[in-house]
């Protein structure tokens, strides 16, 4: 099958760096272009002598026509009605009463020299301007009615066009800076942020166990390369996870099958041992001792095989939990009663305590009792004579904590992370005798607790104490 050749792309498409440089350069160039255009427009519309002269003469001509049609015209009312917001401040003087009419933002007090107004009143269109007005655009025009001058119109703009453009440019520059910054961030970093968030979501999915999560690989830049590398890693992890699942299922099946198959010859060994124990040959002390050893080891193998079967069922989820309301006081009481004879024989004191709020659990009574029995048996086995074991329950937030604390020799810190592993054993000298467990009890405890949605932890102070804690969520039965 023919494959299409990869589409040729420009350097700015292949590089995040160059795309950022190009995007920022375009934004800066656009800002400069807008500013230059605004300056040109403002320069063209800025007040000058020619435009101000045309405006002033136009007002004078219009007033002359109006007075020609209506000699008794109220000039002040006319100006206010027709020029509410004039191009420049208007100064209108009538020859009859020398009345000054002002229209516009400028007031006589705005002129630093009051005499300037008086000068202009006496000279409606002077050839020489007052010194205080020489820096401002200023024009005058006569009001002519039937060939006779009846007044004058003056126009003045105090602010120069340079001042006008200055503050406008400041406002425009600030607005453009904010706009260009936002636009640049959106164009340059908007897509980048979306793609990084996509990679983050895919990473979170992988972390949560969803090995089908993938990042968006579209594009040809560095982020696309990162996404492709991430997807290759995710595919490898998915493949390895599947292999581990298959291997784990195979191991569990093998463990269950082997344990089950071992029970048949073990049952035969125990049966023949019982037959031999009833034979007259068992009267020989050496034979009786050998048969006793065979019996002890047979029982030990049965316990190990039973633990293996239990662990295989729990880890495979084949064991159905019979959930019900569980009295914690009853549960702990049964555990204490079960181990009281062994503890008394070893010189160990067992005490119990149930804190308020931790009286009720929801779970499988038999399995929870099995977990506590294993922890209590382990604690008594590793506590020297004269020591004590405390089995207690307390409420922490929304969690009931069942703990078993002993005053034994403790567990070295390097062993703590592995005590719940199958067949893991700490130095037998910790127990003070030659009796040792199978190394499966704590693994079974962990499996039972996890099936209940909880967790188990171990802490120890070497030479002082060891504590195993079961954390179970508080759940009320429906």
| pLDDT of 158 | 59
8 Å CB contact between 87 and 161: no
> pTM value?
0.47
- Which parts of the chain sit beneath pLDDT 50? 1-7, 12, 110-117, 119, 125-135, 161, 429-435, 476-478
| pLDDT of 389 | 92
Tally of CB atoms within 10 A around 401? 18
> Where do the domains of the chain lie?
11-44+163-206, 49-156, 227-319, 321-473
| pLDDT of 41 | 73
| pLDDT of 437 | 57
- Structure-token pair, residue 214: 């993938």
User: Exposed, middle or buried by CB within 10 Å (0-12, 13-18, 19+), for 300?
Assistant: exposed
Indicate if the alpha-carbon torsion angle 432, 435, 440, 442 is positive or negative: negative
Write down the residue that tokens 């000279």 correspond to.
123
- Fold classified for 321-473: Heat Shock Protein 90 (3.30.565)
- First-to-last C-alpha distance (Å) of the chain: 62
- Fold classified for 49-156: Beta-Lactamase (3.30.450)
CA distances from residue 473 to 402, 443, 445, 453 in whole angstroms, order as listed: 11, 20, 16, 7
**H-state helical runs in 279-386:** 285-316, 328-346, 365-381
On the question of a common fold for 49-156 and 227-319, the answer reads no
**Tens of pLDDT, residues 25-40:** 777 777 777 777 777 7
Domain over 227-319 is classified CATH 1.20.120: no
| pLDDT of 404 | 93
């Amino acid at each position: 099958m023919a494959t299409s050749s990869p589409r040729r792309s420009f350097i700015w498409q292949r590089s995040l760096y160059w795309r950022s440089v190009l995007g920022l350069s375009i934004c800066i160039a656009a800002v400069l272009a807008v500013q230059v255009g605004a300056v040109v427009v403002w320069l063209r519309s800025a007040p000058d002598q020619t435009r101000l002269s045309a405006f002033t003469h136009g007002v004078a001509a219009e007033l002359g026509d109006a007075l020609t049609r209506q000699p008794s015209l109220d000039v002040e009312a006319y100006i206010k009605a027709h020029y509410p917001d004039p191009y420049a401040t208007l100064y209108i003087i009538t020859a009859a009463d020398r009345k000054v009419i002002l229209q516009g933002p400028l007031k006589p007090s705005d002129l630093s020299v009051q005499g300037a107004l008086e000068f202009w009143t006496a000279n409606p269109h002077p050839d020489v301007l007052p010194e205080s007005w020489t820096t401002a655009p200023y024009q005058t025009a006569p009001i002519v009615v039937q060939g006779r001058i009846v007044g004058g119109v003056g126009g003045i703009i105090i602010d120069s066009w340079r001042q006008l453009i200055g503050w406008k440019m400041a406002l425009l520059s600030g607005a453009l800076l904010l706009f260009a910054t936002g636009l640049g961030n959106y164009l340059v970093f908007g897509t980048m942020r979306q793609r990084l968030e996509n990679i983050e979501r895919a990473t979170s999915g992988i972390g949560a166990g969803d090995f089908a999560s993938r990042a968006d690989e579209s594009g040809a830049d560095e982020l696309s390369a990162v996404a492709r590398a991430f997807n290759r890693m995710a595919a490898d992890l998915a493949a390895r996870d599947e292999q581990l699942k298959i291997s784990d299922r195979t191991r569990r099946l093998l463990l269950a099958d082997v344990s089950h198959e071992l029970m048949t010859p073990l049952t035969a060994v125990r049966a023949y041992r019982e037959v031999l124990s009833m034979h007259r040959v068992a009267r020989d002390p050496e034979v009786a001792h050998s048969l006793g050893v065979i019996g002890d080891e047979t029982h030990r193998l049965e316990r190990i095989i039973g633990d293996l079967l239990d662990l295989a069922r729990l880890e495979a989820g084949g064991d159905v939990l019979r959930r019900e309301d569980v009295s914690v006081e009853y549960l702990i009481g049964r555990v204490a009663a079960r181990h009281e004879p062994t503890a008394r024989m070893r010189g160990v004191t067992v005490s119990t305590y149930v804190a308020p709020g931790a009286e009720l659990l929801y779970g499988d009574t038999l399995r929870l009792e099995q977990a506590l029995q294993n922890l209590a048996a382990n604690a008594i086995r590793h506590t020297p004579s004269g020591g004590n074991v405390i089995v207690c329950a307390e409420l922490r937030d929304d969690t009931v904590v069942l703990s078993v604390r002993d005053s034994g020799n403790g567990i070295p810190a390097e062993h703590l992370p592995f005590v719940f592993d199958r067949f893991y054993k700490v130095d037998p000298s910790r127990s003070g005798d030659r009796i040792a467990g199978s190394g499966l009890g704590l693994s079974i405890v962990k499996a039972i607790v996890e099936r209940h949605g909880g967790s188990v932890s171990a802490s120890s102070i070497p030479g002082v104490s060891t504590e195993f804690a079961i954390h179970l969520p508080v759940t009320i039965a429906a």
